[in-house]
Amino acid sequence: MIRIRTMTHDDIPWAMRLKDQAGWNQTETDWRRFLEMEPDGCFVAEWDGQAVGTTIACILGSVAWIAMVLVDQEWRGRGIGKALMSHALNFLDARKIPSVRLDATALGKPLYERLGFVVEYELARYEGVPQGGATSRALEIVNEQDWPQLIQLDRETTGADRSKFITRLFLEQPESVRVVRSAKLFVGFAAGRQGTRAWQIGPCLSIPDAGADLLADAVHRHAGRQVFLDIPVQNQAAVKVAQKLGLTVQRHLVRMYRGKPVHERTDHIWASSGPELG
């Protein structure tokens, strides 16, 4: 009864309704970005011809990311989520991707564990309308010729080649990107994107010395607006910044992996880019 097919741009309006049903923050731009980055890795589950679920598998060098595992509420409990995940994992296994990662909600975590995923660490989603956040440090607006250096910084921090994602994010929201430079080297950057419910701040990646200023500045530039920050709980310095800005925990996510572990610098992750691509 379940059939998995490739997603197309025609599915986006329905996928947005499914996303809204779950109360998530993604926009049509996010769905289009997935389809542009990995057109063969975007999947829709159908039950007797009716679309009932989605998932995305995006290859980032030797690491792949699974996201947007959504099943219509009326169709849950029929194995649709497992079928979508199995299809996505088969897609990645056929391409010999050694590491597969995702950010799990409490609802999805048991399924992922049954499929061989192991817990890495916890993230807390902070939300709210920020109070304050100004910083005395002079932050630079990035130039396009500097993007390769920032992409390399991202790669060294996350252990994945997210160049196709970071490049699109910078193209979509160039005004949101700020950097910190030490001598001639970049030591941190922050970006963000608009969501349907809040502005998602991240990725914000930096050495400890500059991270607090980057994060505070990113939040300050959206004062008076609802923001989301997904922070690894081990990064207590980032947690303190979020709390100082008056943000509170909305929910927790669990970062998980299947296959080869990935070396990720959580002490340099002040805000992840969100559950979609870590």
CA distance linking residue 38 with residue 246, whole number of Å: 37
Each of the 278 residues of the chain gets a pLDDT tens digit; together they read 899 999 999 999 999 999 999 999 999 999 999 999 999 999 999 999 999 999 999 999 999 999 999 999 999 999 999 999 999 999 999 999 999 999 999 989 999 999 999 999 999 999 999 886 666 566 888 889 999 999 999 999 999 999 999 999 999 988 889 999 887 788 999 999 999 999 999 999 999 889 999 988 888 888 889 999 999 999 999 999 999 999 999 999 999 999 999 999 999 999 999 999 99
Q: What is the pLDDT of residue 277?
A: 93
Task: Walk me through the domains of the chain, giving residue ranges and CATH numbers.
Answer: 2-97 (3.40.630.30), 125-271 (3.40.630.30)
Pairing, β 199-206 against β 63-71: unpaired
Q: What is the pLDDT of residue 220?
A: 84
End-to-end CA distance of the chain: 33
Three-class SS of 5-71: EECCHHHHHHHHHHHHHHCCCCCHHHHHHHHHHCHHHEEEEEECCEEEEEEEEEEECCEEEEEEEEE
Closest alpha carbon to 163 in 146, 176, 151, 145: 151
CA distance linking residue 141 with residue 65, whole number of Å: 29
Give residue for tokens 């296994």. 93
Q: What is the pLDDT of residue 137?
A: 64
Pairing, β 42-47 against β 63-71: unpaired
Within 8 A by CB and 6+ apart from 110, the residues are: none
Q: What is the pLDDT of residue 198?
A: 96
Q: What is the pLDDT of residue 136?
A: 58
